[in-house]
Amino acid sequence: MPIVVTLDVMLARRKMRSKELAARIGISEQNLSLLKSGKVKGVRFATIEKICQVLDCQPGDILAYRRGDGGS
Amino acid sequence: MTPTDRLRRLSTVMRHLCTLAMIAIPALLATFWLVFGGCWPFQGAGADPGMVGCTAHVDGGLARHLALFWPLPAWKQLGAFGISMLPAAAVLFGLWQLRRLFTLYGDGRIFTAANTRAFRRFASAVFVYALLRPLSQTALIAFLTFDGPPGSGRLAIQLGSPELTTFFLGGLFLLIAWVMDRGREIAEDQAQFV
């Protein structure tokens, strides 16, 4: 999929663990792990909003579009 | 109490009712045919017109005719019980599937493949029952009268509103099963969103 989740990069920049982020945005660690690995069909605006709020970033900081990264 | 709690509580009650019905149906049929010989005692066994009521559940029109064959010998009682158990088996299978469905609801599993499968099987059981009921009635009447005096053997096929209603309900349940399957697909799709 050409949409790539760059959440792990943002987490590293903010020096925050996945466990803490999951707890603060109110989703399970398992779901956050799936999100980080891009193994989800979609992300709710509410989830993006909470992530951006906690990590103090923009949606573009955690999602990227890469041309030619597969077509599905 | 949340709607989920209510669903769980009601499902538990319904599951117990299904279990009870699964025990009661064969027990009542066995009692009717094997203990009372095809006639409940309160219906005036052996005495015409009392016997009319005895076999009324077999077929209203032939009840008086069937009364001539009463009391039934043991082998006929056993055979009649076996024939009566054919549509009852479809009912028991349907109840078993409903019981599974209510168990799943009780566990908080609402839109899963197992739910849809159980409900679809229940709908199929309703269809099979609608088919077996008139067939078993025909077989039962033929079985009870085949060895009587010449001219007393009967073959009767009864198709009426109860059979049509059961067919309609079977179709309705099958449609609901498809809707449930669509709901399951949506729920599974939703689960892939975080």
CA-based R_g, chain B, Å: 21
Q: Which amino acid is at B20?
A: L
In a domain, A12, yes or no: yes
Instruction: Suggest the residue from A21, A31, A63 to mutate for an interface test with chain B (most B CBs closer than 10 A).
Output: A31
Domain ranges (residues) in chain B: 3-37+72-191
pLDDT in tens, B33-65: 888 777 766 554 444 444 444 554 555 555 555
Residue A22: give the domain boundaries: 3-65
Question: DSSP label at B128?
Answer: H
Q: Would you state the pLDDT for residue B49? A: 44
Please write the tens of the pLDDT for every residue from A37-60: 888 889 999 999 999 999 999 999
Residue pair B190/B110 in contact by the 8 Å Cβ criterion: no
Chain B residues in contact with A40 by the CB 8 A cut-off are 192-194
- Interface size A-B, in CB pairs within 8 Å, comes to 19
Inside any domain, residue A72: no
Q: Which amino acid, B193?
A: F
Output the pLDDT for position B173. Answer: 94
Q: What chain A residue is nearest to B188 in terms of C-alpha separation?
A: A41
Predicted pLDDT of residue B159: 74
Whether A71 is in a domain gets the answer: no
Which range is least confidently modeled, A9-23, B3-17, B66-80?
B66-80
Q: What is the DSSP string of B27-41?
A: HHHHIIIIISTTS-G
Chain mean pLDDT for chain A = 90
CA–CA distances in Å: residue B160 to residues B34, B98, B100: 28, 26, 31
Q: Does residue B189 sit at the A interface (CB-CB below 8 Å)?
A: yes
Q: Is the dihedral of CA B41, B161, B101, B8 positive or negative?
A: negative
Residue A35 lies in a domain: yes
Query: pLDDT value at position B187?
Result: 87
Please tell me the distance from the alpha carbon of residue B102 to that of residue B119, in angstroms, as a whole number: 10
pLDDT for res A66: 86
More confident residue, A22 or B162: A22
Percent of chain B beyond pLDDT 90? 46
- What ipTM was predicted for this assembly? 0.72
- Answer whether B191 touches A (CB < 8 Å): no
DSSP output for B71-123: SPPHHHHHHHHHHHHHHHHHHHHHHHHHHHHHHHHHTT--SSHHHHHHHHHHH
Does an H or E element contain A63, and which?
strand A63-65
Q: Cα-flanking dihedrals φ and ψ of residue B42, to 5°?
A: -70, -5
Task: Please count the structural domains in chain A.
Answer: 1
Query: Mean pLDDT in chain B?
Result: 83
Q: Which residue has the higher pLDDT, B1 or B183?
A: B183
CB contact under 8 A, A27 and B194: yes
Residue B49, preceding bond cis, omega within 30 degrees? Answer: yes
Q: Do B193 and A41 touch (CB under 8 A)?
A: yes
Q: Is residue A56 part of a domain?
A: yes
pLDDT bin (cut points 50, 70, 90) of residue B79 is very high
- A25 within domain boundaries: yes
Whether residue B107 is predicted with pLDDT greater than 60 in this model: the reply is yes
Contacts of B189 in chain A (CB under 8 A): 41
**Residue of chain B nearest A30, judged by CA positions:** B194
- CB-CB under 8 Å, A31 with B193: no
